[in-house]
């Protein structure tokens, strides 16, 4: 081994042991998880896929270090555009106004393609006619709850601009439910588990929207970053797909996840919520996005609060490249 004392030979041996650039990147990828800050728009059952991805270990298995944060729907899009978060779990009505205005935003995966709002009224209100002149609860214009409320009132033959005293824009279903309980509002759109609690306490379910085509929650990112960060998004979508599989295959974990993030402790409510998102409105394992669901939203918004939605194509609001990447 005396040849190692030769300076040139020693340098040559050292160079052989230095990883080449590609090898160095691969090694770093194995040891350094990709950090992402991901928001969900409400602490309600529909947001379960990203919670399952975190709690089942699916994100970690894909080499992702994810911080999950709650950002209410009314502020979520602004947070994404301001780069305060990297990705967002939200439904299509939330992104359409920003998309039409040219915002740097797009949906890369659809996690649920069914509508889940029911419209509940105070115990003494048993018909749509009795809502006339009353105060209705909703969220900021353009949010999913606003859309759900408008659709519900349309199904009941009511117009929010003329048939009720006012629309009190309180927030999402997790805020509307307490307001309905305390009598601040006469009716509101709710989703599970709050809708089941309303049923059990005698609040009147006047109509449901379950039969309507709809693009519900999906993974939303900045449009300009779809290609530059495609590897990170591919990992995220693989983890989310695995999480949805785990939702169906591990009911016990699913109920535990619902309890942790929704703060619901009633076993009956947890079971009803799990059953709803398993049988009534099942999460979408193939992560596809529905043109019909987005078109329904565009048509309704164009005829009510967003005339600029008229003539817009559903394809303006989503990007399939990451789904195609993980399918290969």
HEC string of 226-260? Answer: CCCCHHHHHHHHHHHHHHHHHHHHCHHHHHHHHHH
Task: Say if strands 217-221 and 87-91 run parallel, antiparallel, or are unpaired.
Answer: antiparallel
d(CA 265, CA 260) in angstroms, rounded, equals 9
| 39: β partners | 69, 88
d(CA 237, CA 286) in angstroms, rounded, equals 10
Cβ within 8 Å of residue 18, ≥6 positions away: none
pTM here?
0.84
Structure tokens at 280: 């009534």
CA 91 to chain centre: 5
What would the pLDDT profile of 122-147 be if each residue is shown by its tens digit? 999 999 999 999 999 999 887 889 99
Max Cα distance, the chain (Å)? 99
Contact 217, 90 (CB under 8 A): yes
Q: 199: how many CB neighbours lie within 10 A of its CB?
A: 15
**How many CA atoms lie less than 13 Å away from 227 in the CB half-sphere?**
1
Element (H, E) at 194: helix 194-200
Question: Helix (H, G, I), strand (E, B), or coil: what is residue 183?
Answer: coil
Contact 246, 323 (CB under 8 A): no
d(CA 30, CA 270) in angstroms, rounded, equals 38
Q: 67: how many CB neighbours lie within 10 A of its CB?
A: 12
Structure tokens at 139: 């969220």
**CA neighbor of 250 nearest in space, from 285, 279, 278:** 278
What would the pLDDT profile of 93-105 be if each residue is shown by its tens digit? 999 999 999 999 9
Structure tokens at 307: 């005339």
With the C-alpha atoms ordered 295, 322, 54, 74, is the resulting torsion angle positive or negative?
Answer: negative
Structure tokens at 320: 């399939």
Contact 217, 210 (CB under 8 A): no
Give residue for tokens 């950002």.
71
Residuewise pLDDT in 10s, the chain (328 residues): 333 344 443 333 333 444 444 444 444 445 689 999 999 999 999 999 999 999 999 999 999 999 999 999 889 999 999 999 999 999 999 999 999 999 999 999 999 999 999 999 999 999 999 999 999 999 988 788 999 999 999 999 999 889 999 999 999 899 999 999 999 999 999 999 999 999 999 999 999 999 998 999 999 999 999 999 999 999 999 999 999 999 999 999 999 999 999 999 999 999 999 999 999 999 999 999 999 999 999 999 998 889 999 999 999 999 999 999 999 7
């Amino acid at each position: 081994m005396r040849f190692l004392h030769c300076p040139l030979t020693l340098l040559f041996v050292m160079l052989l042991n230095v990883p080449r650039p590609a090898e160095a990147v691969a090694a770093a990828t194995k040891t350094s998880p990709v950090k992402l800050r991901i928001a969900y728009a409400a602490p309600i059952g529909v947001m379960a896929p990203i919670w399952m991805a975190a709690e089942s270990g699916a994100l970690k298995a894909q080499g992702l270090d994810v911080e999950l944060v709650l950002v209410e729907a009314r502020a979520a899009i602004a947070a994404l555009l301001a780069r305060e978060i990297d990705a967002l779990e939200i439904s299509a009505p939330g992104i359409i106004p920003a998309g039409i205005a040219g915002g740097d935003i797009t949906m890369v995966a659809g996690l649920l393609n069914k509508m889940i709002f029911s419209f509940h009224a105070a115990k003494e209100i048993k018909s749509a006619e009795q809502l006339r002149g009353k105060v209705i609860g909703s969220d900021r214009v353009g949010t999913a709850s606003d859309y759900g409320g408008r659709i519900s009132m349309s199904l009941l033959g009511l117009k929010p601009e003329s048939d009720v005293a006012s629309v009190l824009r309180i927030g999402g279903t997790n805020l509307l439910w307490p307001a309905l309980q305390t009598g601040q509002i006469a009716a509101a759109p709710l989703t599970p588990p709050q809708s089941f609690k309303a049923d059990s306490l005698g609040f009147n379910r006047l109509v449901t929207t379950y039969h309507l085509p709809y693009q519900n929650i999906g993974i939303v990112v900045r449009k300009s970053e779809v290609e530059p960060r495609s590897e990170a998004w591919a990992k995220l979508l693989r983890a989310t797909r695995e999480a949805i599989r785990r939702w169906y295959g591990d009911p016990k974990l699913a109920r535990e996840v619902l309890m942790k993030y929704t703060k619901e402790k009633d076993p009956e409510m947890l079971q009803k919520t799990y059953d709803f998102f398993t049988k009534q409105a099942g999460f979408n394992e193939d992560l596809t996005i529905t043109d019909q669901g987005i078109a329904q939203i565009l048509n309704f918004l164009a005829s009510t609060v967003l005339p600029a939605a008229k003539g817009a194509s559903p394809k303006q609001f989503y990007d399939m490249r990451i789904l195609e990447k993980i399918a290969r």
